Structure 1
């Protein structure tokens, strides 16, 4: 019987396992944790955002520089396919007010239990507390294409016993490096690099950024949201590095986080990299506190200041700013606020916040970087290792939160599995 091994029991790996098993392949999944899908379950603890309902053209743009490579994956298994798959597990989905898609049970647990039951019915074997520890004979032999070497893996169990295992195809879905306590620690990077595979360094994505707030500001406003703002990242010469991103941000003691910050992550890293090379440069994130109003509209409203109004009352009455927004204006001005309506309007539309870095990768929701697209073919098979495929966050792509991360993980899992089936069929025919 044809056999496959899937390394990693997250969404990408389990989806690949299901596709393979449905085609009659005997599948073994190796999961280093006591149970699979731990990141999936944790992500869905407060509501499992599976995908998004926006149109395909806009959806694809969420993947930035990797949009052209992710686009065919979304054709192979897109948001509608994912929703149909959920319904097949007895968990129909609904679209929230923001366009995000959730299972009707809202949380991840019912869906995941149904999925594991289906995998069990399909005969998928999940080897818990076992992890991949390299190729038999080492990376050099694995890459030479000799019979047996590409498929011979070393698997280590909880007792530290390492066993050599083989299969007809292998799919790696080991994730990035943002959840080390749940098994995604990026430990695969070294062995793949030794094989000669180009791996873009893993970096924190969908993560908060560091800002050196004054002590007074940090103590007063940490944990306070900035509602309905827009963020733009400025490059070394003041050019915009991204389109404005709207949403609610959250002030923290050490910086700022939230949806618009996460969605601006690539541009923020670009600006930080430029600043690292040029000590005169800074990464500046401009916060538009009133994105629905123009500078002229704000200036007009700010013209009518009562003589006895304090600056805070003026801003609250005229343009509806809350204390956190007013505090951010003061922070940007070193404690001072412009008294002129035009100057104040300009500041409200572009409050400069100097970002000094991102939070550590182990505090990130996901990672950027991974195996370069040039290292895999259109079926996600490693060019250096025929019969071995890669899926999920191991590949060099990133996306903001909102359902885009899980969707691409599922989609690449499907594509890798279908590619493995095509490779098996071609091998059998040849």
Structure 2
């Protein structure tokens, strides 16, 4: 009687959400899975994201959800439809992490933090036989062999299939430094910051005076796109989810034209006429700063922005119009390593529909390594899980077509 063939061996490089999810899917199908990561522990960026509440996904209608991926929508749509936001929520709840949808539509675990979910997840992976090797930096291939640098020197691993999930090029201290692109230049688009802060063209002392202040619930317009939310003033410039949602278009304008003029609506719930009436109700002898404070409760940063954007003899109507449409030139982006996520990475034309590298059969790619971007709000994690789902199933299909035995 012939012995059963050994299970396929899978190497997964990168122990973030995409890598761990691919490991879960493949080990559940009987594959022998090893996960390698250069850091001393796994899921570091996931844990950091969970410090302010782990935003898993978003509950808005799927067609609207898919539009958040911009130019990459057509590429990622099959993967996201195959493993949808509702599927991700069900998966988390299957780990004992009840979820809820906030008033904004964002979906969170009830515990809010990532650590309970990660602990339950790692227990499941251990039960499925997944082996995790930390402090292993992937440094490329020697033929079909994977090479790693470790504290004990270089080591090599052979596998029937490989899934690369090494992240983008931001937050390098948490594990994703983008150095893998050095030996994958033919498949890679240059990295660029996404969901990042921007550098306004304002007076040198403005940031020093107002660092840490928040412009609450302002409207933002760039081109035909509009968002609304809080903007935080930092020592470097501006940050906030409403700004991040415009980051791709703002970045493109700055790179192509050297600047991007963002328009702020400091009182989006009021019309120009409403603002004007409130201004005119104030005593004429009041200073502009006092009128703005009393009539519209505008804070010091908003008042300073208006002062720099209007002439001394500004009329009440001009002032009202500027409050509703204050131009704010942006001249740069924050550093790549400070960005929440990155654009660039493995190009769409470098992989097939299964997310397998065309140049390396049996090597699949998922997560933030791929050249896509999305705003914060659950879209980033969803993209990582969905592409990992697609890549893992791509591995299974490729192994089957290669006549490898799968339990």
TM-score range, shorter chain: over 0.9
Deviation at 1:307, TM superposition (A): 2.2
How far, CA to CA, are the matches of 2:312 and 2:211 in structure 1?
Answer: 21
Q: Which residue of 1 aligns with 2:85?
A: 79
Q: Pick from 141, 153, 156 the counterpart of residue 146 of structure 2.
A: 153
Q: Secondary structure at the residue paired with 1:231?
A: strand
User: SS where residue 260 of structure 1 aligns?
Assistant: helix
Are 1:52 and 2:44 matched, yes or no? no
Q: Which position in structure 2 is the counterpart of 1:94?
A: 100
Residue number in structure 2 paired with 1:11: 17
Contact 1:212-1:254 within 8 A present in 2 as well: no
1:211 corresponds to which residue? 200
Residue number in structure 2 paired with 1:249: 231
How far 1:248 sits from its partner (Å)? 0.6
Report Cα offsets for 1:350-393 as digits up to 9, x if no partner.
21212121111111111011111111112111111111100001
Matches within 5 A, 1:260-299: 260-276=242-258, 282-299=259-276
In structure 1, what is the equivalent of residue 323 of structure 2?
Answer: 348
Q: Is the 8 A contact 1:130 1:157 kept in 2?
A: yes
Question: Of 381, 384, 401, which aligns to 2:356?
Answer: 381
Kindly report which structure 2 residues correspond to 1:124-273, keeping only aligned pairs within 5 A, or say none: 124-137=130-143, 149=144, 152-159=145-152, 161-193=153-185, 196-197=186-187, 199-233=188-222, 240=223, 242-273=224-255
2:36 counterpart SS class: strand
**TM-score relative to the length of structure 2:** 0.94
Q: Distance in 2 between matches of 1:155 and 1:2?
A: 21
**Conserved 8 A contact 1:271-1:283:** yes
Return 5+ residue gaps in structure 1 as ranges.
138-148, 234-239, 277-281
Q: Take 1:219 and 1:410, find their aligned partners in 2: how far apart are those partners? A: 40
Specify which of 405, 409, 412 is matched with residue 387 of structure 2.
Answer: 412
Rounded Cα–Cα distance in structure 2 between residues aligned with 1:215 and 1:186: 33
SS in 1 for 2:402: helix
Are the equivalent residues in 1 in contact too, given 2:201–2:328 (CA < 8 A)? no
**What whole-Å deviation, never above 9, does each CA across 1:244-282 have from its counterpart, x for those lacking one?**
111111112331111111111111111111224xxxxx3
1:403 aligns to 2:378 (yes or no): yes
Contact 2:15/2:35 (8 A) holds in 1: yes
Q: Is the 8 A contact 2:8 2:404 kept in 1?
A: no
Partner of 1:326: 303
Match in the other structure for 1:140: none
- The CA deviation at 1:70 is 1.6
The whole-number CA distance in structure 2 between the counterparts of 1:218 and 1:395 is 35
Query: Using a 3 Å threshold, how does the CA distance of structure 1 residues 332 and 251 change in structure 2: closer, same or farther?
Result: farther
Check the 8 A contact 1:329/1:337 in 2, yes or no. Answer: no
SS at match of 1:290: coil
Q: 1:216 Cα shift? A: 4.2
- The alignment of Structure 1 onto Structure 2 pairs a total of residues equal to 399
2:332 to 345, 348, 357: 357
| Aligned mates of 1:177, 1:374 — CA distance in 2 | 20
From the superposition, tell whether residues 337 and 324 of structure 1 become closer, same or farther in structure 2 (CA, over 3 Å): farther
**Deviation (angstroms), 1:23:** 0.4
SS of match in other structure, 1:44: helix
For residues 134 and 208 of structure 2, the distance between their equivalents in structure 1, rounded to whole angstroms, comes to 45
- What secondary structure sits across from 1:248 in the alignment? strand
Q: Which residue of 1 aligns with 2:4?
A: none
Q: Whole-Å Cα distance in 2 between the matches of residues 376 and 35 of structure 1? A: 29
Aligned residue among 117, 122, 128 for 2:128: 122
Deviations 1:35-56 (A, max 9, x none): 1101111111221111111111
Asked whether the equivalents of residues 338 and 344 of structure 1 are also in contact (C-alpha less than 8 Å), the reply is no
* Cα offset, 1:215, TM superposition: 4.2
Q: Deviations along 1:292-330, whole A, 9 cap, x unmatched?
A: 233344334433332232212222333332222112212
Contact 1:213 1:254 in 2 (8 A): no
Q: What secondary structure, in the 3-state scheme, does the structure 2 residue paired with 1:189 have?
A: helix
Alpha-carbon RMSD across the aligned residues, in angstroms, is 1.7
